[in-house]
Every structure is written in structure tokens, then in C-alpha cells.
Amino acid sequence: MAEKRIGIIMHGVTGRMGTNQHLARSILEIRKQGGVALQDGTRLMPDPVLVGRNAAKVRSLARAHGIERWTTDLAGALASKSDAVFFDAASTRLRPKFLTQAIAAGKHVYCEKPVAATLAEALGLYRAAKKARVKHGVVQDKLWLPGLLKLKRLRDAGFFGRILSVRGEFGYWVFEGDRQPAQRPSWNYRKRDGGGIILDMLCHWRYVLDHLFGAVKAVSCRGATHIPLRWDEGNRKYRATAEDAAYATFELAGGVIAHFNSAWTVRVRRDDLLTLQVDGTRGSAVAGLRRCWTQSLDETPKPVWNPDIPQPIDFFGGWREEPDDPAWGNAFKAQWELFLRHVAGEGPFRWDLLEGARGVQLAELGLKSWKQRKWLDVPALRA
């Protein structure tokens, strides 16, 4: 079987997400499986070059994974004619600069989200890519999680009837950094560096809601900095200037109401780090990252309020678990394969920079809603 190489400039992948999800579990796994199968029978084989500012970190990462190509020279990498795709997983604040350089160099671009810190920047990137006629995409990984794919399967089968509401609980306890090292980088808690959970997570909730339950029409959001003091990677105390929790309610098309609690200051007593409960007239479902349980109208118990006796109903017992689909794999890898096929000329890719801009739009409106303490409409976004 014929093999076709595609060079990928991977920038900012020395961080946890870039290393684990994009490099090890996506690009390297695609290489192990023999590339991405194309319709003409050829296999598209990714050939990564790792790029970063810290030579020691990039060299170490490349050696650990058996990758021959690495550099600290981003301009030189972008000047190479043999690499067609630029991927960025660096910090949000710097992303517009790097994507702009890559687009100007004629590279197809794929990146983490948020694509930018402001809607104006995000739309500017989309327009630049469109003008340059390069292909572009934004990571929207949660759409390929098995738990959410099960929700989509239930929705498409009409299981819910008319969807009434969606409730999302996301988060976990991120240690302050003094007694135990923090699980997230310190820039997440500094506003000037693009930190804050509203910008981070409302970008996710936008594509989840838009694609699974209905277009977002309005938002009311309240943020909070519950823990004001943290310790950075050098064990230096600093003041958190960005919010570490967000409480947001959304109005969706069709009258659906969605509410999401997002926090890095919550201890988990639920099925997963993210759980979604979808309630409809004919049934409900609760999904985590991988598992999903359903309860139909016929299986719904009939509780009676009586606080004077122990609860006689086992509310966890009346749910059925949805089966897995063996075809589902790593969510990041699944989207990478779709994007690489798109670059090769096979099919559209709807999760582009304009979709990324919609996420930034919702985050920007969420911050504005918090500041103004009121509901805000979400206008249709057109380039």
C-alpha cells in the first residue's frame, strides 16, 4: 500500500496536554497504525517536527518518543517547504501571534482552544486563514468522548423526546501549590497571561451545546476567585488575578435551558470529572467522559416527599448503562484523523477557526455578563 508523507510542525507540545494527547496518543498512535487511510488506498503518514523555546525540554521529549526532528527555531520551521501543517498548543495569549505567522507562511493550521483571548483576535485569525486559502481547524475534543457520543446516539434515536434541560458539572480540586504541587500551570490563575476558567471552559461548553443540544442564544454567568493565593512552579507565592470557578446558565434554541458549574475548587463526588445530565419528556441520561446511564419515562420512579423516614427508593438503581462502540478511540486522535483527511482533500471540516471564534465569543460574553450582572444575548456570528 502506497504511503504519503505529511510534515507537521508541532509547537508548544512540551506541556502535559500537548505531550500526552496530541503527540503520544494522537500523532504517534497514527504513525503506529500505519497512517491515516485515504479513499484512494494510500496511507497519509504524519512526520512531526517538535518546536519549542526550551532546547533541553524539546530535545528530551523528542528522544523519549523516538522523534528525529526538533528545533527551537520556529521561523526556520515555518520556512520549510516540506512541512504543510502547523499545530499550536502553547498559551492562549501567544496563540494569535504564532497562528498569524503560520498562516502568512502558507501553512494549514490546527490548534488548541481558546484560539485567542478576544473575539476580535479570533475573527482576525479566521479571516486571515480564509484570505490565505489555507485549511484550518480547532480542537473540540469533547465531541468525540465516548460518553458524549452516547448522548448523541440517544438524541438521534429520539430517546429523550423533547429535551428540557442540560446540567453540567465539571472540575476537581487543584492544589494551591504549597503542600502539594498544583496540577495546572500557574498562568491559569493570572489574567494577564490569559488565565481564568471562563475563557478556558466556556469555549468547550459552546461547541458541546451547539452541536449536541441546540445553538446558544443567551448567557448569564458569574465567576469567582475562591482561592486568592497560590504557589507557582518555583514555589513562590502569588496572588490569583483570574477566576477559578464559573457558574453559567444558557438559553438554547428550542427552549432548552443548560446550566454548567465549572470549578478548580471542588472535590469530586460524582461519576467523573465531567458529568452531563440531559432531561427530556421521554427519558433522561447521565454521561461522564466514557460511561452513560439512561432512565426512560416508563422506568422513572414516583417519589413522595417525606423527610421523616429513610428514603425508600434507590435512585441509582433504576438506570441502565449504555453499551460501548468498539470503533470509538481517543477523542483527540479521532479529530486529528479527520483534520488530516481534510488537508489531504477528503471531506469538509466543520470545526474551523470560525467555530473556535464562537467559543471565544461565548467566553467574552460570559465575562461581560459577570461584570454587568445581567443576561446577555449571543448574536449569530458571521465572518
Condensed to tens digits (0 to 9), the pLDDT of residues 110-139 reads 999 999 999 999 999 999 999 999 999 999
The β-bridge partners of 231 are 237
Cα separation, 26 vs 148, in Å, equals 19
Residues 230 and 182: beta-carbon distance below 8 Å: yes
Query: Is residue 10's pLDDT more than 90?
Result: yes
Cα separation, 297 vs 282, in Å, equals 5
Per-residue confidence at 1, pLDDT binned at 50, 70, 90?
Answer: low
What pLDDT, on a 0 to 100 scale, did the predictor assign at position 382?
A: 78
* Cell output for 223: 465567576
Domains along the chain with CATH numbers:
3-141+330-351 (3.40.50.720), 142-328+360-377 (3.30.360.10)
* Cell output for 29: 498512535
What pLDDT, on a 0 to 100 scale, did the predictor assign at position 91?
A: 85
Per-position DSSP letters for 309-362, written without gaps between them: S---S-TTTT-EEPPP-TT---HHHHHHHHHHHHHTT-S---SSHHHHHHHHHH
What pLDDT, on a 0 to 100 scale, did the predictor assign at position 146?
A: 97
Average pLDDT over residues 72-87: 97
Cα separation, 286 vs 290, in Å, equals 11
- Closest listed residue to residue 220, CA positions, set 380, 377, 379: 377
**Cα atoms found within 13 Å of the Cα of residue 127, Cβ hemisphere only:** 9
* Cell output for 275: 458529568
Cα separation, 74 vs 335, in Å, equals 25
- Does a cis peptide bond (omega within 30 degrees of 0) precede residue 114? yes
The β-bridge partners of 170 are 262, 274
Supply the mean pLDDT for the chain: 96
What is the CB neighbour count within 10 angstroms for residue 54? Answer: 11
Query: Is residue 290's pLDDT more than 80?
Result: yes
Q: What percent of the chain has pLDDT over 70?
A: 99
What pLDDT, on a 0 to 100 scale, did the predictor assign at position 2?
A: 86
313, burial (CB in 10 Å: exposed 0-12, middle 13-18, buried 19+): exposed
pLDDT tens, 350-377?
Answer: 999 999 999 999 999 999 999 999 999 9
pLDDT tens, 63-73?
Answer: 999 999 999 99
Query: Is residue 75's pLDDT more than 70?
Result: yes
Strand 216-224: give its sheet, edge to edge. Answer: 320-321, 292-296, 283-287, 274-280, 163-171, 257-263, 245-252, 216-224, 376-377
pLDDT tens, 241-255?
Answer: 999 999 999 999 999
**b (16+ CB within 10 A) / e for 239-257:** ebebbbbbebebbbeeebe
Cα separation, 119 vs 113, in Å, equals 13
What pLDDT, on a 0 to 100 scale, did the predictor assign at position 282?
A: 98
Q: Look at the pTM and tell me if it is higher than 0.85.
A: yes
Amino acid at 208: V
Residue located via cell numbers 440531559 = 278
Query: Is residue 141's pLDDT more than 70?
Result: yes
Q: At what angle do helices 146-156 and 197-212 cross, to 10 degrees?
A: 30
- Closest listed residue to residue 82, CA positions, set 31, 46, 134, 58: 46
